């Protein structure tokens, strides 16, 4: 069958038009896609740095964050080696006397102004109580003040200090606190390793963490991956609205002999607020301070042990040859101590793995004892046998009542 002369040219034109329309659609879709992506990116570009939420929070909170510098003088008695020689050959009359060596110990930390009249909350380990303690506070504007320690709580690791100023100071109110939601953005402000007014960011990683530092165990702590370093302690952890999340307290740097990053801890804001309210009320005379629960009181309550410090002379007289420890004055009837056969006159030389030298030096963990907890108590007993004194040592496990 024959084809009409113009048919081939018409088909070629039609095919060319189809191809042209296909390319137009293809490139049109690509251009539209790029345009749409551009629209998605524009809002981020449209936010000026000064309008970013984090910048606003820093502007709000930073003036209330202070740098804390403490210095205490530690006195140590140093025995003159010449005195030892004189005592050995000529008696004590030739001795010139021991020297007192004074060594300054300096610490860095951070704090948060919580009232315009100069009240500042920080960590107890930053503003620790000590003889001849000096506390200097520097504000974000560079002004320097001398601060006074008013109240502290070593079990909560919180302290209240105060500076005197002729004008109201910038502060962060504790009336509104952060809801502390897992995953929320948090900012850490403070004085890490002396770098004043530093800011780091992260999230709230976890709640209700337990941390043991030395002889102190703290529970109910917050965990964050925001950078917390030495010097940040006592500074605020705030949320994206500038409300207090907690107070920076510690960081974990090693676990199971391996380096650890991005694990920091903070004391929850609710606990900080309760401490501040009680401490201010006590300082201003609106509330009586709670009775001091010393380690001696706790040991009597939990184990039925009445103990006293022993001098070297008393230790010798009791047959312990000058050994240090705590002398058992009395054992309550029906107590865990009586059940373990601890008797009056024995010498308690250790609690757990900690040696006992004096009641004042007992670990803080003693005051944290709860009913049902077990404690290993190391003891010495002295028994006179003729002209000799026999010493016997042992250890018993007491369950706190």
Task: Look up the CATH architecture of domain 61-163.
Answer: Beta Barrel (2.40)
Residue 129's pLDDT is what? 59
Q: For residue 297, what are the CA distances in angstroms to 140, 146, 210, 333?
A: 43, 35, 25, 17
**Rounded CA gap, 89 and 139, in Å?**
59
Active site (annotated) includes residue 157: yes
Mean pLDDT of 339-366: 86
Q: Is the pLDDT of residue 159 over 90?
A: yes
CA distance 239 to 60: 12
Cβ(57)–Cβ(184) below 8 Å: no
* CA 191 to each of CA 3, 155, 156, 231, 252: distance values in angstroms, whole numbers, following the listed order: 92, 23, 21, 5, 18
Q: Does 374 qualify as catalytic in the annotation? A: no
What is the rounded distance in angstroms from the CA atom of residue 60 to the CA atom of residue 161?
A: 22
Q: What is the DSSP string of 41-55?
A: HHHHHHS-GGGSHHH
What average pLDDT score do residues 148-157 get? 91
Specify whether 178 is catalytic.
Answer: no
For residue 31, the model assigns a pLDDT of 57
From the candidates 110, 125, 198, 249, which is the catalytic residue?
125
Would strands 254-255 and 258-259 be described as parallel, antiparallel, or unpaired?
antiparallel
pLDDT at 96 over 60: no
CA 15 to chain CA mean position, Å: 78
Higher pLDDT, 235 or 251: 235
Catalytic residue among 157, 178, 200, 335: 157
Question: Residue 124 in contact with residue 234, Cβ under 8 Å?
Answer: no
Entry pTM: 0.69
Which entry of 110, 197, 198, 233 is annotated as an active-site residue? 233
Q: pLDDT grade, residue 322 (50/70/90)?
A: confident
Percentage of the chain surpassing pLDDT 90? 48
pLDDT (tens digit per residue) in 56-78 = 999 999 999 999 998 776 655 55
Domain 185-283, what fold? Thrombin, subunit H (2.40.10)
Query: What integer pLDDT is reported at residue 1 of this predicted model?
Result: 47
Tokens of 37: 């992506």
Cα(64)–Cα(59) distance, integer angstroms: 10
Residue position matching structure tokens 């504790």: 174
Residue with tokens 């500038």: 242
Q: Are 330 and 364 in contact (CB under 8 A)?
A: no
Q: Are 381 and 390 in contact (CB under 8 A)?
A: no
Q: What is the DSSP letter of 233?
A: T
In this predicted model, what pLDDT tens digit does every residue of 260-314 receive, in sequence order? 788 999 999 999 999 999 999 999 999 998 877 788 888 998 999 999 998 888 8
Q: Which residue has the higher pLDDT, 41 or 117?
A: 117
Q: What is the residue extent of each domain of the chain?
A: 61-163, 185-283, 295-399
pLDDT of residue 304: 92
Architecture of domain 295-399: Roll (2.30)
């Amino acid at each position: 069958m024959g084809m009409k002369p113009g048919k081939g040219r018409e088909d070629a034109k039609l095919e060319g038009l189809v191809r042209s329309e296909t390319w137009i659609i293809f490139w049109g879709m690509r251009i539209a896609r790029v345009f749409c992506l551009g629209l998605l990116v524009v809002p981020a570009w449209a936010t000026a740095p000064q309008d970013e939420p984090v910048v606003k929070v820093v502007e709000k909170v930073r003036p209330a964050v202070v740098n804390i510098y403490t210095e205490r003088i530690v006195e140590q008695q140093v025995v003159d080696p010449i005195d030892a020689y004189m005592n050995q050959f000529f008696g004590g009359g030739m001795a010139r006397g021991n020297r007192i060596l004074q060594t300054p110990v300096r610490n860095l930390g951070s704090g948060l102004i919580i009232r315009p009249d100069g009240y500042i909350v920080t960590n107890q380990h930053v503003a620790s109580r000590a003889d001849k303690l000096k506390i200097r506070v520097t504000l974000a504007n560079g002004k320097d003040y001398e601060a006074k320690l008013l109240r502290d709580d070593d079990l909560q690791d919180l302290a209240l200090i105060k500076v005197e100023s002729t004008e109201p100071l910038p502060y962060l109110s504790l009336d509104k606190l952060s809801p502390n939601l897992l995953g929320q953005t948090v900012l850490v402000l403070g004085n890490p390793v002396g770098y004043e007014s530093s800011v780091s960011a992260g999230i709230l990683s976890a709640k209700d963490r337990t941390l043991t530092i030395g002889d102190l165990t703290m529970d109910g702590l917050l965990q964050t991956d925001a950078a917390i370093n030495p010097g940040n302690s006592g500074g605020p952890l705030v949320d994206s609205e500038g409300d207090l999340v907690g107070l920076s307290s510690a960081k974990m740097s090693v676990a199971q002999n391996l380096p650890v990053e991005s694990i920091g801890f903070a004391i929850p804001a609710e606990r900080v607020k309760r401490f501040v309210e009680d401490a201010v009320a006590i300082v201003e005379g609106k509330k009586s301070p709670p009775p001091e629960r010393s380690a001696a009181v706790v040991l009597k309550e939990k184990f039925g042990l009445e103990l006293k410090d022993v001098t070297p002379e008393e230790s010798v007289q009791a047959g312990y040859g000058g050994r240090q420890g705590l002398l058992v004055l009395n054992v309550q009837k029906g107590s865990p101590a009586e059940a373990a056969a601890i008797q009056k006159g024995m010498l308690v030389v250790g609690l757990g793995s900690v040696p006992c030298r004096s009641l004042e030096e007992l670990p803080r963990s003693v005051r944290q004892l709860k009913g049902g907890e077990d404690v290993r108590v190391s003891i010495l007993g002295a028994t006179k046998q003729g002209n000799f004194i026999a010493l016997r040592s042992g250890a018993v496990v007491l369950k706190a009542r």
